[in-house]
Amino acid sequence: MLAGPRQVGKTTLARQLIAASHHAVHFASADALAAEDRQWIRQQWEIARFKLSQSESKEGLLILDEIQKVPDWSEVIKSLWDEDTNNGLPLKVMILGSSPLLVQRGLTESLAGRFEIIPVRHWSFKEMQDAFDVSLDEYVYFGGYPGAADLRKDEGRWKNYIVDSLIETTISRDILLMTQVNKPALLRQLFYLGCQYSGQILSYQKMVGQMQDAGNTTTLAHYLELLAGAGMLCGISKYAGQQVRQRGSSPKLQVIDMALMSALSRQGFTSVRSDPELWGRWIESVVGAHLVNSSIEYGFELFYWRDRGREVDFIVRHQGRLLAIEVKSHKRQTALPGMDAFVNAFHPDKIMLIGGDGLEVELFLSMDVNQWLP
């Protein structure tokens, strides 16, 4: 099962597999379904069975795209898979979903032992550099959507593409149509606010004060979870040692790909790059996005820390060990009181300074975060 946000290459991977496969293959997408169709999976499964029976292949492959569009999909797949297993039919199945959260919600019937979830994340700097010759500055601003890479020389077209083909499509088709959202306008406002304040800590009470549509903190926390599940915007929690995290604590808002932050900004690439303060915000956000995507892939926990005005940008916890990360876009003139306080309080296994007179941002973004884990 491949699960990840829209337009990060899931369908392309599937089609490349088809081209290289020597098996009998059937590909079908639920994205074009006009309405809920509970029989769609059975129909496609029968086609795959027929193709296998008519071929000389020893195995068949069925690929189902946008599976989260089909109600109760996991129950149907479990039934058909068990039926083929009992009959000795060698049909393998690959499932693609554009929202990991929504795909997992479809697992109403336990598929334990029958499937593996492979997360497909936003493209890393190294991947964008190798495929599209993207520079570090371009990656910091334009992000990791491969389909938009060739439009970066025409920023107006690029912004329109990100807003229309990615943001609006994800919100309207992957969230609003698939989940119960009582205040769609509030969810959109939360997303726009999160892009504006990416990399900053904002309490839910302050978020409510910024909204034109009335809402409460519980609703905002739920909508932030939906946006995170769709691969758009998340709230990084405050690190509190061994204490149980409170859901109502102030989250650090973080875009999951820099394209979302930049496309909704009133500032263009040249303007942002020439403003040291603005560029510093983009640098911290791109480090945060890299950490969020890596946490999805490698399964570590990500936090920030703040106490009495002292702050550490990111805390990574992996198998009980801690990595504390501070981000600076220019050489520091003073000490790092937040890091000193955190070290004294929690004794992390490793600390890192990224940017400024620390580790180069380009080097950090070029490597998998698991290589830095203690």
Every domain of the chain with CATH number 3.40.50.300 lies at 2-119
DSSP string for 332-360? -SS--HHHHHHHHHH--SEEEEESTTSB-
Give me the pLDDT at residue 348, please. Answer: 96
Give me the pLDDT at residue 210, please. Answer: 81
**Contact (CB, 8 A) for 26 and 51:** yes
CA distance 290 to 295: 9
Q: Which residue has the tokens 């392309």?
A: 12
Burial of 5 from C-beta contacts in 10 A (0-12 / 13-18 / 19+): buried
Share of the chain above pLDDT 70, in %: 90
Whole-prediction pTM = 0.87
Give me the pLDDT at residue 13, please. Answer: 87
Please report, in tens digits, the pLDDT of each residue of the chain (374 residues total): 777 788 888 888 889 988 988 889 999 998 777 666 778 999 999 999 999 999 988 899 999 998 878 877 888 888 999 999 999 999 999 988 876 555 565 554 556 556 677 778 899 999 999 999 999 999 999 999 999 999 999 999 999 999 999 999 999 888 887 778 889 999 999 999 999 999 999 988 888 888 776 678 888 999 999 999 889 999 999 998 866 555 557 999 999 999 999 999 999 999 999 999 999 999 999 999 999 999 988 889 999 999 988 999 999 999 999 999 999 887 665 678 899 999 999 999 999 999 988 999 999 999 988 888 87
- Element spanning 312, H or E: strand 310-318
Max CA separation in the chain (angstroms): 73
Give me the pLDDT at residue 297, please. Answer: 84
Instruction: Kindly state which CATH superfamily the domain 2-119 is placed in.
Output: P-loop containing nucleotide triphosphate hydrolases (3.40.50.300)
The HSE-up count of residue 344 (CA atoms within 13 Å, CB side) is 8
Give me the pLDDT at residue 139, please. Answer: 98
Q: Pick from 374, 300, 368, 371: which is nearest to 125 by CA? A: 368
238 strand-pairing partners: 304
Give me the pLDDT at residue 157, please. Answer: 97
Give me the pLDDT at residue 332, please. Answer: 62
- DSSP-based three-state secondary structure for 201: strand
